Amino acid sequence: MKDQHPPLRCFQDCHNRELFQDDGLQTVTSSDQKRVEESICEVIHAHLKDHRMPRPILLREQHIIYLTDGLQHLSESYETLDASRPWLCFWLLHSLDLLLQPVAPDLASDVCKFISKCQSPTGGFAGGPGQQAHLAPTYAAVNALCVIGTQEAYDVIDREKLLDFLYSLRQKDGSFQMHAGGEVDVRSIYCAASVASLTNIITPDLFEGTCDWVARCQSWEGGMGGVPGLEAHGGYTFCALAALVILEGQQRLNIRALLRWACSRQMRFEGGFQGRCNKLVDGCYSFWQAGILHLIHQILLQAGDPAVGVKGWMFEQRALQEYLLFCCQCPDGGLLDKPGKLRDFYHTSYCLSGLSMAQHFSCASPPRENILGGEENRLQARTHPVYNVNPEKVARALAHFNTLPLHER
């Protein structure tokens, strides 16, 4: 469904009725919420000065320049992200892919060579050359190589040592450490399940007991905490649900309670998502929370639940697009958390991933589109709701690695 220029939600008079009311009891939380809403109103009024009914525009070229420059200077600066350089590779490559901007073959080859230097002799990938192997950059490195999708990229991954690395982090209860001697939470399980499934190294006992451990992380709110007993959180909830989908253990959850929690995280005024109850909107949760709702939709649809619609996701897709396009774009390229924040590659990647999900509904035949602002704002058809990689790149990686033998221990 193409945009027919209906009235924009954030410019309607009734929208003012959605502003936060503190009922006369001011707190730090309520003051912060009001400041965010005021900053969004300033953005809206600035657009109204130039256009009576402005149309949102994706600053595609500015974003491409920002991202390409970051990829070309990957080995320079970024001192604060020295232990996250495979993440930089993934965020940059995935964002360019969503923007339908191909990466030059020589540059892609350079990235493969750099990621290979981050691979530990004992298996897995580190945040940078010579650093300790860690599940988070391992996930990012495998995803980045799958985005590139060449034989050179696939050949970087030492599958046998990767499997040894995963076994070394596995705990008796089915959980995983993030690194040797490191913390245990659902992020590590998702990273392990993701790379193991993409590279075809899942063995019968690698994830024994894992689904039960993850299911215990569902809180009384309906969402998932990082470990059993903690507050529900959008990032942890996505990791938990996506891991269970990979391991075919989603039936262990109370899906209706999870749906209720996830739907409640879209902010009624801003249109974007918050990560937890009583927290502020943040552009990155455009993917984490929309991804959760995407997965829940598919789970309920497969179960034949009559309440599931076939016209759109169970969140307000246009409202999310308005927030991202009006409030989260830096004029010089890159996307950000919320008005007043600085751009960065992390938020650029996850804001674009969320925008892609909001534009495309894949559970209809044929798939439905809801592209706010017109065709010039179109992103990649969608991002994979489990891996957050172009679905065609996921299929290509699975086809490649599934032809390779599985070396069980």
Q: Please enumerate in sequence order all residues whose Cβ is within 8 A of that of 197, keeping only pairs 6 or more positions apart, or say none.
A: 246
66, 154, 236, 285: the catalytic one is 285
347, 378, 384, 393: the catalytic one is 347
The b/e string for 346-361 (b: 16+ C-beta within 10 A; e otherwise) is: bbbbbbbbbbbbbbbb
Is 233 assigned a catalytic role? yes
279, 368, 396, 400: the catalytic one is 279
Is 154 assigned a catalytic role? no
> Cis peptide before 366, with omega less than 30 degrees from 0?
yes
CB 90, CB 353: distance < 8 Å: no
Is 22 assigned a catalytic role? no
110, 164, 305, 344: the catalytic one is 344
Give the angle subtended at the CA of 55 by the CAs of 343 and 334, to the nearest 5°.
Answer: 15
47, 63, 134, 233: the catalytic one is 233
Nearest-angstrom CA–CA distance, 74 and 69:
9
DSSP string, 109-161: HHHHHHHHHTB-TTSSBBSSTTS-B-HHHHHHHHHHHHHH-SHHHHHH--HHH
Give the angle subtended at the CA of 354 by the CAs of 349 and 359, to the nearest 5°.
Answer: 125
Q: What are phi and psi of 153, to 5 degrees?
A: -65, -45
97, 158, 185, 337: the catalytic one is 337
134, 179, 265, 276: the catalytic one is 276
Is 285 assigned a catalytic role? yes
Question: Tokens 């959850």 — which residue?
Answer: 253
Is 344 assigned a catalytic role? yes
Nearest-angstrom CA–CA distance, 175 and 184:
7
118, 191, 284, 328: the catalytic one is 284
89, 97, 282, 363: the catalytic one is 282
Over its C-alpha atoms, the chain yields an Rg (Å, rounded) of 21
Query: Which residues participate in catalysis according to the annotation?
Result: 233, 276, 279, 282, 284-285, 337, 344, 347
